[in-house]
Structure formats: structure tokens, C-alpha cells
Structure 1
Amino acid sequence: MGMGRATAVLVIAAALAVMMGGADLVRAWEDAKVIHVGGRVLCQDCTKGYDEWVKGGSPIKGARVSLTCMDQRHRVIFYGSDDTDGTGQFNMIVDKYINGKQLNEKLCSVRLVSSPDPTCNVATDFAGGCRGVKLSRPRSVYREVIKYAVGPLYYTSPMCEEPETE
């Protein structure tokens, strides 16, 4: 009997810890004034095997990525872009409130815009870079900082581009 009671106490203590952590999570979410959206842009070589193609890839410096957010009526309420650094990373900071209304992150998507590398400037949809990657759930919410991560997104060389057929 004593073992059952100890187990019940542990279960209740664990539930309280989760609830308290959940409350901190909700508070951090509500107190946040901005959201961060980041990721990487890489160049892939189509001449390599699938494993090398997926796991390989070199960062593209200066690749442009856009973030577009819509409202409930499918109107654009935010558009922004960022260029990648030397490691292929981008990071955009967006106000959580636009014109007095709270941004719905699930109506935002990240897309590839351009690559400065003439040997690797064909956008691929391998990870959704052409059609857009929707923000689904934040990677982290901590002390009023909400971070979403997408990608990596990929460009490839012009020789890898598939011809358009109708």
C-alpha cells in the first residue's frame, strides 16, 4: 500500500511541475512583443548520391529569404526579408502585434527569394523553399523570446534544374 501512495505523490508532483512550467510558457508567450524566425540556406549538388545530397550542402552567403504573413482574410499584413550570413543562417525579428492586431504565426510562411551564387541559384522545393514553409510551432519559448526555425532550404546549380514540361 505504501508503494501506491508514494507513486501517487510522485505523479501529483510531476503534474504540478508540468503545470507550473506550462504557466511559465504561457506567460512568456503572452509577454513576448516579437517573434524570431531563423534557419539556413544551403547549396546542394545534384551530381551526388541521395545521402550526400541530403546530408551535404554548403552554406550560401547573401541568399535572400522572405517571410510573408497573412490575416484571416488572406491579405498580406507583413512582408520582410533577410540575407544569410557566412554560415548560411538568417534571422528575422517580427513584431507580434501589427496595426493593433496579434499576428497569427500559423498564417506566415518563409520562402527562398534569391541567391547571389551564379553556380547555385536555382531554388528547390526540397524542403518547401519555393512553395513556402509555414510556421507551425516554435522551437523555443523562453523569457519573452519566441523562436521559430525552418529549413534548411536549398538552392542547386542550373545544370540540376529540371526542364518544365506541360
Structure 2
Amino acid sequence: MARHIFVDSCAFDELFKHRIEPKEIDASEFQFYVTGEVLRELSNIPERPEEPGKKAFIDRISKSGEIPERGYFGFGSESYGFGRGILADLSQTDYLESTKDQLGEPRKSGVPKNATDRQLLSHAIVFAVLTNEPTLGNKVLMEKAVERGATVIRMRDFDPETETFIQFLRRHFPN
């Protein structure tokens, strides 16, 4: 069964940097997903002359379905229906309920500070999250997720000189 990994927006930068093509990774071993919140962050990334091709790379893999959008199943405005929704585990819903007070003031986008990281961490409790941040959200969000068994894979720990990307991912999952 494939291991499910939700990709944080900053991890897309590292995928580009290391020329990692998600479509070349065996989907029967690892399946990548992106949340709607992360897609919104990615759509706001500007084209930068010092990083030619990065915006096109990110757009291609995030908008083409190469890394499909997924979230929690439900019928509300922030939920996903049949075929795109994932049933939340009780540990995930408990985490989301117990960390409501960790959301900050809404940003210009209207999304509260830490909301995207909190959502990613909730997915990491059952699945995994790929990021490049040392800590997702704030210390409390991270600690509460790790207490519940969250798997956080940090691209900053990937060294292509010593292992392949697949080997790197495998290190984070027990057999």
C-alpha cells in the first residue's frame, strides 16, 4: 500500500532545486498530495528572474494533477467530496479541535496564521508531511502533532550526495 505524503509549499522549492519529478516516483510506494490551502500559497509564488523555470515547474506539478489535491471528506465549503476526500481519523479531529486556540490573526488572504501548517500537521498524524521548515506552525502545534505520532519529513535533511530521494523517504517510515 502506498504511503501518503502531503507536500508543504516550501517543499516544492526543494523539489525544483533537486530536479525531483514526482511523476517518476512509484505511486504504489509513495503518493503525494497537496491541500487546497497549499495550492493557494503556490498560486501566489511570483516568477523570479534568479530562479528561471521554478514557477513553471511548480505550476505544472501542482495544477496538472501530478500531485492531486486532497483534504478531509465532508460537504462543507472547506471539505472534499467523493473521490477527493479522506476520512479523518479520531486522532486527527481531536488534534484539530484541541489546537483551535493556536490559530493567529487572519492574514491578508483571510486565512488565520498557522492554519495551513495546522492542517498539514493533522494529516501528518496518520500520513506524513513533506516540508523544508524546521517546525511547522508554532511550537505547540508541532509538539501536539508529534505527540500523536505525526511524521514530518524535512527536505533540509535530504543529501543527494549520500542517498536517493526514495531512500530518503523510506527512512521516515517503519517497515
TM-score, with structure 1 as normaliser: 0.22
Larger radius of gyration: 1
Query: Which of the pair is proportionally richer in helix?
Result: 2
Query: Which of the pair is proportionally richer in strand?
Result: 1
